[in-house]
Structure 1
Amino acid sequence: MEQNVSGSLNLFVHNSKEVEFTVRGPRFVTFDLEDDHRIRPGSCILDIIFPAPTKVGEIIFRNYYTAWVSILIKGPPSQQPAPVGKQGPSRAVDEEVSPWQLAVPRKVIMPNPHYESGSHDLISISATESSLDWTNLLGMRILLQQPSPVWRTFHIEQISVLKDLPRRLANSNNEESMSEKLSSQTLTALRKSNAPEREGPPPKDFVGLVGYEVQGFLLL
């Protein structure tokens, strides 16, 4: 099944550029688990296909009884032309010359698969959680798994793909550097304004006062 999708979580994505994509699936798959035959999780695959190589910063979706997800990504074939008659990113995604690569393994989105907690949460997965780069993608494959027999139906819905990182992550480095700069400047100013006129090291209670003032200021 294919479905054209543009983002739907306007409340959460209005500050970031949304990426156009097509959804294929979900389709159910089975696995042989040699390590533990007692656990055979229900599994399905959902493919997100982009019309052209795309930078992705974040993917957001609403959970529906999925216990954990893994994300695989696919980029353009490295230095290899597409076969004759199979041009274009949407077809290249299906070629073995550009394999799927595991980017985010087994992200738990239900703390306990047998209970309701997390079953309808809004989930955000950013490029910073990936072991691979998300700057030139043709597709993303989401593997959904639910080992509990309690929930016969599980999927994800309301999918949005955003080009940029979440604001809290994109600004984290700047915020950290500004915080360090503010702390340093404040400490210097307090030392100068409260420094005793006499020569020699300041008294112990002065050092404690400066530390308290800086901490209190940063917490505001």
Structure 2
Amino acid sequence: MEAVKMMQTMTPDDTKPVNFTVKAPVYLQIGDTKADTAHSGVCVVDVNLPFGKPVNIEEVTFKNYYTAYVTVRLLRRNPEQEAPAKWCTALRDLPLMDNPHTERGSQDYYTIHRTQMQVEPDHVVCVRLILRQPSLAWLTFSLEDIKIFPHTEPDPEKEVSDWLSDLTLIDQHPDLEGLPDPQTVSSSIQQMWALTEVMQTNQTTASIGRFDVDGCYDISLLSLT
């Protein structure tokens, strides 16, 4: 799996990043005393989200600084249980550089979306970023400009409104040229139906006498009996 390289977030424009506190990076050391310690190529960065306000994460964005791989761990608290929060691994050793010994990808912007994670990043109280750089070519490595955007459920009414606004009203279809307006035809039919009902209601029972017009017989009105 690869991280998504991009300069802009995929979240809506009106979505603001979550406020949080980033602890100072902790570089793991090898050795028992300070005299013989050496960098292990591993750094841990904890991102503490607001206390008492777990976050459903949509995506995490950052700028790389010579980090070859990143592992994302989440401290999640189940709101339906009183059990303590538990750590889980959302991503493991996600490559940020094509080669740890070369510059490519060393200072790119990245986005990790919730769909890339192995667990649902919901009810998160802390994000732990474990950085690895196995190459000795770089003295330091880290992540900069870290941002966490919250996940929001789409508004069904807004989706319908957006869908309707995308529809294009065609005033006159080429295949319907020359035909009367459908609304006019519908109105005329309703008027004819109403007139028919009135005529049937007021129909007279009087017999019709001679079929004459202006004193003359109209042959077309005569019929043999």
Scaled by the length of structure 2, the TM-score of the pair is 0.55
Task: Identify which of 96, 105, 111 aligns with 1:124.
Answer: 111
Match of 1:43 in 2: 42
SS of the residue 1:115 aligns to: coil
Aligned-partner Cα distance in 1 for 2:132–2:25: 12
User: Which of structures 1 and 2 has the bigger CA Rg?
Assistant: 2
Match of 2:218 in 1: none
Aligned-partner Cα distance in 2 for 1:164–1:54: 8
Which runs of 5 or more residues in structure 2 are unaligned?
1-5, 32-38, 153-158, 164-225
Cα RMSD of the aligned pairs, angstroms, is 2.9
CA-to-partner distance for each residue in 1:4-60, whole Å, 9 max, x for gaps? xxxxx996477133111111121012589xxxxxxx950111111111111110000
Measure how far apart 1:80 and its partner are: 2.8
Q: For the Cα contact (< 8 Å) 1:29–1:44, is it kept in 2?
A: yes
Measure how far apart 1:152 and its partner are: 1.0
If each structure's helix is expressed as a fraction of its own residues, which one has the higher value? 1
CA-to-partner distance for each residue in 1:77-123, whole Å, 9 max, x for gaps? 67236xxxxxxxxxxxxxxx423211111100001000000000001
Scaled by the length of structure 1, the TM-score of the pair is 0.56
Q: Percent identity?
A: 31
Measure how far apart 1:148 and its partner are: 0.1
Task: Identify which of 145, 163, 166 aligns with 2:132.
Answer: 145
Instruction: Describe how 1:9-48 pairs up with structure 2 within 5 A.
Output: 12=9, 15=13, 16-30=15-29, 41-48=40-47
Structure with the larger RCO, 1 or 2 (CA within 8 Å, 6+ apart): 1
Q: 1:131–1:11: structure 2 CA closer, same or farther, 3 Å change rule?
A: closer
SS of the residue 2:23 aligns to: strand
Aligned-partner Cα distance in 1 for 2:128–2:45: 6
SS of the residue 1:118 aligns to: coil
Aligned-partner Cα distance in 2 for 1:154–1:99: 28
CA-to-partner distance for each residue in 1:163-197, whole Å, 9 max, x for gaps? 148xxxxxxxx9xxx9xxxxxxxxxxxxxxxxxxx
Structure 1 runs, 4 residues or longer, greater than 6 Å off: none
Q: For the Cα contact (< 8 Å) 2:47–2:126, is it kept in 1?
A: yes
